Amino acid sequence: MRWALGISYLGQAYDGWQSQPSGRTVQDQLEAALARFADRPVSTLCAGRTDAGVHGLMQVVHFDTEVEREPFSWVRGTNRYLPPDIAVQWAQAVPAEFHSRASAIARRYAYVLLESPVRPSLEAGRAGWVFRPLDEGALRDAARRLLGQHDFTSFRASACQARSPVKTMRRVDVARRGAYWRFEFEADAFLHHMIRNIMGCLVQIGQGLQPPQWMDEVLAARTRDAAAPTFAPDGLYFLGPVYEPRWGLPDRTAAYDWLP
């Protein structure tokens, strides 16, 4: 039987999502908890890997097992063996043709940024930080230039394993609440470090160090050297994949109401 799980986690204590020999990854923690609950090894596949320090509001994984449990048992039973900063939010049986990664038609990320003369304290590790004021008009102008299909090579990490740098950015939203900015991105897929590299450019533009049209120049250059340095992972959240309605999977978790 194939199951899909929605997972939320804080990434501060982990070396990213994907399993590593150190065992200090979210996948390692999840699979160890599933194995203890199911009393046998469980191997998972995720919708999108996240880097060290990056958080997840609704990572989706799937796995196959012969163990029969009710959906609520997979949630509560697995959470019993997980650390406090990782939790299964929901569990649902899915058809054998469902694949957490291949069935996704889009993916969503948010970046939370604190604009303040004082560094984060309560938000340390959970929000990026700038101490210079940002221009909302310039940010929105630059963000809209990312929409559509582009070659995002300039925002691609050297270790990126994606077959093509061409992606379609469906949505970029910029919002502010008090001292906090929230940038939300939706695309068919993302490259390694793509959002953090885009954020580096947006911050430079928002601070007036570059004009909004610089974003066009960076895209056209198709070289990583053209863009700003990679921004901190602290404020980056994987909001989760987007699936067709026919799968009947949740599209949000309670954490969506908590995130600024």
pLDDT band for position 8 (cuts 50, 70, 90)? very high
Contacts with 246 (C-beta within 8 Å, 6 or more apart), sequence order? none
Query: Kind of pairing, strands 148-151 and 166-177?
Result: antiparallel
Residues 20-44 pLDDT 10s: 999 999 999 999 999 999 999 999 9
For the record, the structure tokens of 88 come out as: 């299964």
With a cut of 80, say whether residue 260 has pLDDT above it.
Answer: no
pLDDT band for position 259 (cuts 50, 70, 90)? confident
CA dist 107 and 151 (Å) reads 17
> What is the rounded end-to-end Cα distance, in angstroms, of the chain?
37
Architecture of the domain whose range is 106-238: 2-Layer Sandwich (3.30)
User: Token pair 């950015």 is at which residue?
Assistant: 169
Say what percent of the chain tops pLDDT 70. Answer: 100
Sequence ranges of the chain with CATH classification 3.30.70.580 = 2-103
Catalytic residue among 51, 188, 234, 257: 51
What pLDDT score was predicted for residue 61? Answer: 98
Written out in words, the top-level CATH class of the domain with range 2-103 is alpha beta
Sequence ranges of the chain with CATH classification 3.30.70.660 = 106-238
Catalytic, 64? Answer: no
DSSP 229: P
